[in-house]
Amino acid sequence: MIISFVIPVKDEEKNVRQLYIEIKKVMNDLIRKRCIKEFEVILVNDGSTDGTLDLCKKLVGGYRGDSKIISHMGNKGCGKCRNEAVKASGGKYVAIHDGDDVSLLNRIEKQVEFLEKNQEISFLGGHALKINEKGESISEIMDYPPQTHEEIVNMITNKCMNPMIDPTMMFRRNAFIDSGGYGKEEKVLYVPDFDLWLRAIKKGYKFHNLQEPIIKYRVNPKGNTRRCQKEMIRQHIGIWRAFKRK
């Protein structure tokens, strides 16, 4: 079994080295435990203006050929970058990871174990801990994600809420591809994950959330979530209404 780690990075020079080293350490540990046979790390440089790309090349060059770099001159956005990375991946399961977040040490093991035991589940998330730019804890667990598929679908389709924390996600690659991947249109630029969940639900794929934190989610005051909140809400409501009309 191959696990693919998809990591879009933009101006993450200060975080990417430690992130890459930690992921390699966790995945090599899983190989030793015989939980997985192989893994790959796919770094997507999304038009970084600092030394992120050069650092990625140095990191990948220092290991075996189980890592790839996809690089763009301009900013394509997180959704499109992830789509490219998944298309280039060869894993049965794909783990999403943002460049400034931190996966807890047991994240991958728990998600792989759950998906292997629950073949009916295709999209698996979990809870998260919030940290600041220095890596310091700033709140309790982000504990809003419901557990079961039925609860998740109810929140998405009837309450217009997104109960999946996107950077906690691991999914079956074939289900992701069949659902069309993250939203690509301008009208879903800031909510490509919610657009994907709606399409996956229509396809009949099932969701689940582990009821424990599996990542540390870094709150970035300069990130899209803070800067573009009004547009994110507008797009979120727009695609939900379109889904309800169909």
Domains of the chain, by residue range, sit at 2-245
Beta-bridge partner residues of 3: 39, 93
CA 96/CA 75 separation, integer angstroms: 19
**pLDDT value of position 227:** 65
Beta-bridge partner residues of 95: 5, 170
Q: State pLDDT tens for residues 180-206.
A: 999 999 899 999 999 999 999 999 999
**pLDDT value of position 193:** 97
* pLDDT of 224 above 70: no
**pLDDT value of position 11:** 83
Angle 229-85-233 from CA coordinates, rounded to 5°: 15
**pLDDT value of position 70:** 81
- Of all residues in the chain, what percent carry a pLDDT higher than 70? 91
Q: State pLDDT tens for residues 33-59.
A: 777 778 888 888 888 888 888 888 877
Q: How many CA atoms lie within 13 A of 28 on its CB side?
A: 9
**pLDDT value of position 219:** 85
Mean pLDDT of the region 90-103: 90
- Of all residues in the chain, what percent carry a pLDDT higher than 90? 50
Chain centroid to Cα 227, Å, comes to 20
* pLDDT of 65 above 60: no
* pLDDT of 71 above 80: no
pTM above 0.75, yes or no: yes
CATH architecture of the domain covering 2-245: Alpha-Beta Complex (3.90)
Contacts of 68 (CB under 8 A, 6+ apart): 40, 41, 42, 43, 60, 88
**pLDDT value of position 41:** 86
